[in-house]
Amino acid sequence: MPVLALPFPNFDPILFSIGPFAVRWYALAYVAGILLGWWLARRIVANQAYWNGGAPITPLDVDDVIVWCALGIVLGGRLGYVLFYQPAHYAAHPMEIFVLWRGGMSFHGGFLGTVLALILFAWRRKIPLLSMLDLAAIVTPIGLFLGRLANFVNGELWGRATDVPWAVIFPHAGPEPRHPSQLYEAGLEGIVLFLILIFAVRRGALKRPGLIGGLFVGGYGLTRVLGEFFREPDAHIGFLAGGLTMGMLLSIPMIVVGLAAIVYAARRAPAA
């Protein structure tokens, strides 16, 4: 054990409780991510300089679509976790699918659920789909950042054993010091990816529909694969063929799709 290994801070995963009702940091991270994303999305559609002749999305559209996205995140994230990570367990205990307060959400499932919600909303409102997806992509790293911080507070999804001086001894992961991989992912998927997208927006990327979405999808896939090198694989899955993890396997197609979207958007003329 390295001398400088850090003990895990004794966080209480429950912010406060009133009788049987408890507010957890994890749930608060989801709510805060959605609200901050809504606030930023309204500011972006209101700034005409970011768009070619005006945004094809109104602030009222943003107000309405946030409900659709919230449902897509929760339903897709839960179903993704059930299907991708523990299908056998939930097949044997189907009622536990609805026990959301015990955790168990998949980003990839939430991503697919949100994309489906955005497609349906854009179709109903006759909004250009790529612009709708671009707007959602800009604000998503906010939720990713807060969600990874909540993972750290919960002492879950810890990293692999290591001897780096900032290693943390997680209470439920044994005596070995481990990478605080939740914080690595918060920095990569949240801060770094957000800064890249904001820089692209300021450089006029929203005038080429699909470019921001491609940067996000490919960028998330790349940062997630990088983060997986420091994260301990799920115990019931372990390493897959070639040393891959489930997170890597689900993220590699995102890199391919993201690159294709970037090339597609870059070759098209700016949207009028």
pLDDT digits (tens, 9 = 90+) for 84-101: 777 887 888 788 777 765
- CB neighbours of residue 233 within 10 Å: 17
Query: Is residue 110 over pLDDT 90?
Result: no
More confident residue, 183 or 76: 183
More confident residue, 197 or 20: 197
Average pLDDT rounded to a whole number, residues 125-138: 95
State percent of the chain over pLDDT 90: 60
- What tens digit of pLDDT does each residue of 23-48 get? 778 888 888 999 999 999 999 999 99
pLDDT value at position 25?
82
More confident residue, 90 or 251: 251
Outline where the chain has alpha helix (H). Answer: 25-46, 59-84, 87-92, 107-125, 129-154, 181-185, 193-202, 211-228, 246-267
Average pLDDT rounded to a whole number, residues 183-193: 97
How far apart (Å, rounded) are the C-alpha atoms in residues 148 and 61? 28
Res. 106 pLDDT band, cuts 50 70 90: confident
Average pLDDT rounded to a whole number, residues 202-217: 96
Please check whether residue 168 is in contact with residue 187, taking contact to mean a CB–CB distance below 8 angstroms: no
State percent of the chain over pLDDT 70: 95
239 CB contacts (<8 Å, ≥6 apart)?
Answer: 233, 245
How many residues belong to the chain?
272
Computed from CA positions of residues 90, 92, 98, 99, in that sequence, does the dihedral angle turn out positive or negative? negative
Query: Cα-Cα-Cα-Cα dihedral of 111, 202, 122, 218, to 10°?
Result: -30
End-to-end CA distance of the chain: 60
- What tens digit of pLDDT does each residue of 216-242 get? 999 999 999 999 999 999 877 888 888
Res. 187 pLDDT band, cuts 50 70 90: very high
Average pLDDT rounded to a whole number, residues 240-251: 88
pLDDT value at position 1?
45
Please check whether residue 169 is in contact with residue 180, taking contact to mean a CB–CB distance below 8 angstroms: no
pLDDT value at position 237?
81
More confident residue, 191 or 76: 191
CA distances 143 to 11, 192, 248, Å, are 20, 13, 20
Query: Cα-Cα-Cα-Cα dihedral of 230, 235, 237, 240, to 10°?
Result: 40
Query: Is residue 76 over pLDDT 80?
Result: yes
Please check whether residue 169 is in contact with residue 175, taking contact to mean a CB–CB distance below 8 angstroms: yes
How far apart (Å, rounded) are the C-alpha atoms in residues 18 and 211? 46
More confident residue, 252 or 94: 252
Query: Is residue 79 over pLDDT 80?
Result: yes
pTM value is: 0.86
Res. 68 pLDDT band, cuts 50 70 90: very high
pLDDT value at position 272?
63
Please check whether residue 105 is in contact with residue 77, taking contact to mean a CB–CB distance below 8 angstroms: yes
Query: Is residue 271 over pLDDT 80?
Result: no
Q: In 36-61, which positions are buried (b, 16+ CB within 10 angstroms) versus exposed (e)?
A: ebbebbbebbeeeebbbeebbbeeeb
Query: Is residue 245 over pLDDT 60?
Result: yes
